[in-house]
């Protein structure tokens, strides 16, 4: 359990330099620190020190085949971690950094194999949160940071989510309040001729295509193919409570199911976009804009997990491209 003693509040816009230097010292000593980014909270360690990276994997219980994203403060620092910075990388970095975009590129020899799970490529991101920026600037090291949750769980969007998931496994959690974007960065492989979308996010593939032309999309359809992004096929982003998706057209069947569960004294939580769904306990209506829905989705899932529901039923988001990232996260969460 967590005593809360390791959570330190920081102003999200003007972080206290003393707190930042305390966090930077921990990182320089090879320790791990949880910190906010604009997407979700990350669990960071010195990316160039294998023992620090091992601590991250251990704290999360993360399988070693799933590579970590390395966070840096500038394009120059990103380039130094790569071997062969592509034209597409340059254009995307100039357009979207700092911001919620991770670029996958051939890695420099200095990047330990443990960070990249043995892959010849490394995922890199320049975050735009002032606290992350201050920390990366102070520490002057690349910081490997996956989302700050136990492996497989819903990513944290508050310091309290981090504390509940990782407990006392992390000596310091910087608390700058809820994150702005609420879901993880878009991940795009720009190591080859055509950019490949590995994980959708709030920067959409349409926005990326405007800069680098049409993207290939990672398909989970061919299980025998080598995995371009190993972590992407695991069950992921999932609450502990079983979660199932339903189509808007199945509404009345869903309502009957909720009634049957209720008769047996069981609670079914419902997340929906249509206001017409009846009977969820609790029933949470999500915002009609994808950005607003992304911002609150994980905190709603964390909350439902704490409510002790038997089952969480989620209405499938609309099929338009702008809902791609939310659809992706919910489909992963629904995987058995």
Residues contributing to the site for ligand TXA (CB under 6 A) = 37, 39-40, 42, 66-69, 100, 102, 104, 116, 119, 121-123, 125, 145-147, 184-185, 187, 198-199, 229-232
Query: CA 154, 156, 157, 160 torsion: positive or negative?
Result: positive
In sequence order, the 6+-apart residues with CB closer than 8 A to the CB of 112 are 47, 48, 49, 50, 53
Identified binder of Mg ion from the candidate list 147, 160, 165, 229, rule CB under 5 A: 147
Minimum distance of ligand TXA from residue 254's CB (angstroms): 31
182 binds, among Mg ion, ligand TXA, none (CB under 5 to 8 A by kind): none
For 220, the token pair is: 């989970």
Tokens 């982003």 sit on residue = 237
- Select 185 or 270, whichever has its Cβ closest to ligand TXA: 185
Query: CA 25, 27, 31, 32 torsion: positive or negative?
Result: positive
- Select 230 or 242, whichever has its Cβ closest to ligand TXA: 230
In sequence order, the 6+-apart residues with CB closer than 8 A to the CB of 256 are none
- The span from the CA of 219 to the CA of 24, in Å, is 39
Terminal Cα-to-Cα distance of the chain (whole angstroms): 27
67 binds, among ligand TXA, Mg ion, none (CB under 5 to 8 A by kind): ligand TXA
- The span from the CA of 44 to the CA of 59, in Å, is 11
317 binds, among Mg ion, ligand TXA, none (CB under 5 to 8 A by kind): none
153 binds, among Mg ion, ligand TXA, none (CB under 5 to 8 A by kind): none
Minimum distance of ligand TXA from residue 93's CB (angstroms): 15
123 binds, among Mg ion, ligand TXA, none (CB under 5 to 8 A by kind): ligand TXA
- Select 8 or 232, whichever has its Cβ closest to ligand TXA: 232
Inter-CA distances, 123 with 174, 180, 186, 300, 315, Å: 23, 22, 11, 28, 32
104 binds, among ligand TXA, Mg ion, none (CB under 5 to 8 A by kind): ligand TXA
Q: Which stretch binds Mg ion (CB under 5 A): 140-148, 169-177, 194-202, 267-275?
A: 140-148
307-316 in b/e burial notation, b at 16+ Cβ within 10 A? eebebbbbbb
DSSP secondary structure code for residue 230 in this structure: G
- Select 53 or 119, whichever has its Cβ closest to ligand TXA: 119
Minimum distance of ligand TXA from residue 262's CB (angstroms): 36
- Select 147 or 205, whichever has its Cβ closest to Mg ion: 147
3-state secondary structure of 290: helix
48 binds, among ligand TXA, Mg ion, none (CB under 5 to 8 A by kind): none
- Select 45 or 100, whichever has its Cβ closest to ligand TXA: 100
The DSSP line for 151-188 is TTBPPPSSHHHHHHHHGGGSS-EEE--S-SS-SPPEEE
Minimum distance of Mg ion from residue 147's CB (angstroms): 3
- Select 120 or 213, whichever has its Cβ closest to ligand TXA: 120
- Select 39 or 88, whichever has its Cβ closest to ligand TXA: 39
Residue spans of alpha helices (H) in the chain: 17-28, 50-60, 75-79, 87-96, 113-116, 130-139, 159-166, 205-212, 251-263, 290-306, 324-333
Positions in the binding site for Mg ion (CB under 5 A): 147
């Amino acid at each position: 359990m967590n005593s809360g003693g390791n959570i330190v509040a920081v102003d999200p816009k003007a972080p206290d330099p003393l707190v930042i230097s305390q966090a930077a010292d921990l990182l320089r000593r090879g320790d791990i620190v949880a910190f906010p980014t604009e997407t979700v909270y990350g669990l960071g360690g010195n990316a160039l020190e294998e023992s620090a990276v091992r601590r991250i994997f251990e704290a999360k219980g993360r399988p070693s085949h799933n590579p970590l994203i390395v966070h840096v403060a500038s394009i120059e620092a990103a380039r130094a971690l790569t071997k062969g910075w592509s034209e597409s990388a340059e254009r995307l970095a100039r357009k979207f950094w700092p911001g919620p975009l991770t670029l996958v590129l051939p890695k420099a020899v200095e990047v330990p194999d443990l960070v990249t799970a043995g892959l010849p490529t490394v995922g890199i991101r320049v975050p735009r949160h002032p606290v992350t920026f201050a920390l990366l600037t102070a520490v002057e090291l690349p910081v490997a940071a996956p989302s700050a949750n136990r492996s497989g769980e819903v990513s944290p969007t508050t310091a309290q989510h981090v504390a509940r998931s990782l407990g006392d496994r992390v000596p310091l959690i910087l608390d700058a309040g809820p994150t702005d974007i609420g879901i993880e960065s878009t991940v795009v492989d720009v190591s080859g001729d055509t950019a490949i979308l590995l994980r959708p996010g709030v920067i959409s593939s349409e926005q990326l295509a405007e800069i680098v032309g049409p993207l290939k999309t990672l398909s989970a359809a061919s299980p025998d193919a080598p995995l371009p992004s190993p972590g992407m096929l695991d069950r992921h982003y999932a609450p502990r409570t079983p979660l199932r998706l339903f189509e808007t057209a199945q509404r009345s069947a869903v309502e009957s199911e909720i009634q049957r569960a209720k008769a047996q004294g069981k609670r079914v939580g419902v997340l929906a976009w249509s206001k017409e769904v009846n009977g969820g306990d609790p029933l949470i209506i999500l915002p009609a804009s994808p950005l607003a829905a992304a911002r609150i989705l994980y905190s709603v899932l964390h909350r439902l997990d704490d409510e002790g529901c038997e089952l969480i039923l989620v209405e499938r988001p609309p099929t338009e491209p702008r809902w791609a990232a939310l659809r992706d996260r919910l489909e992963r969460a629904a995987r058995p």
